[in-house]
Amino acid sequence: MILRIILCLLCGYGFGCISTGYIVGKMNHVDIRNYGSGNIGTTNTLRTLGKKAGAITYIGDVAKAMVPMLLARLVIFKGEPYADLLGLYVGLGVAVGHNFPFWLHFKGGKGIAVTSGVMAAHDPLAIPLYIVAFVASVAITKYVSVGSLVIVTIFPIWIAVMDHGEPYFLHTLIVSLVFMGLAYLRHRQNLIRIKNGTENRIGQKVSVVKGNDGKNQDA
């Protein structure tokens, strides 16, 4: 079991290192790391390059989590009592790879799009709840980071309620808490900025000079 967990984490890490935001930025002659927050995730790509680039980044990051997870659950470990758990470990590997890609000097995204893909793949029934919670949180606070942290907090709560009694329940719950902890860790600066009143609100954009990889600041 331990060997399988390690292999799932490594496999997931490989998928996670497909840094969609960075690739989309380069396709637009922009190094996304040099603009806005410097993050290669969906939110910074959206602010820097617009809705189309943001949507492509989000879809790519969700897909790189869902595809290997579903392959693990429905193909590789199909019929095994721990298939769901191993699929979750694949997703965790993807999140770690996304956040800390070796080829970008371990400076990646914050893992929310990836984690949303993991949560959707783990239990599609929870998708409406995640959408409503995210939209409501962002609408009320105007902070994408708050909406992001709300849904990752719901994830272990959902598992605690809906997966109770399932094989490897406690193990699954612990892994979901790791996802939540990782998200809060990656958003620690956002929380500080929210406290100080300097966090970017939804709708704010970044000025970009394409072809210029020099460091830029938030607009």
List, as one string, the DSSP characters of 147-200: HHHHHHHHHHHHHHHHSTTSTTHHHHHHHHHHHHHHHHHHTHHHHHHHHHT-SP
Q: Identify the pLDDT of residue 167.
A: 83
Q: Identify the pLDDT of residue 217.
A: 39
- The domain ranges of the chain are 7-16+62-196
Question: Residues 6 or more apart from 184 whose CB is under 8 A from it?
Answer: 149, 152, 191
Q: Identify the pLDDT of residue 206.
A: 63
Q: Identify the pLDDT of residue 132.
A: 98
State the pTM of this model. Answer: 0.91
Distance of CA 38 to the CA centre of its chain: 16
Find the length of the chain.
Answer: 219
Residue 167, sorted as left (phi over 0), alpha (psi -120 to 50) or beta, turns out to be beta
Contact in structure between 119 and 157 (CB atoms under 8 Å): no
Q: Identify the pLDDT of residue 205.
A: 65
Torsion of CA 67, 72, 74, 75, to 10 degrees: 100
Half-sphere exposure of 134 (CA within 13 A, CB side): 16
Q: Identify the pLDDT of residue 200.
A: 84
Per-residue pLDDT of the chain (219 residues), as tens digits, is 899 999 999 999 999 999 999 999 999 999 999 998 889 999 999 989 999 999 999 999 999 999 999 999 999 999 998 999 999 999 999 999 999 999 999 999 999 999 999 999 999 999 999 999 999 999 999 999 999 999 999 999 999 999 988 889 999 999 999 999 999 999 999 999 999 999 988 866 666 656 555 544 333
Question: Residues 6 or more apart from 80 whose CB is under 8 A from it?
Answer: 86
Q: Identify the pLDDT of residue 112.
A: 96
Q: Identify the pLDDT of residue 210.
A: 60
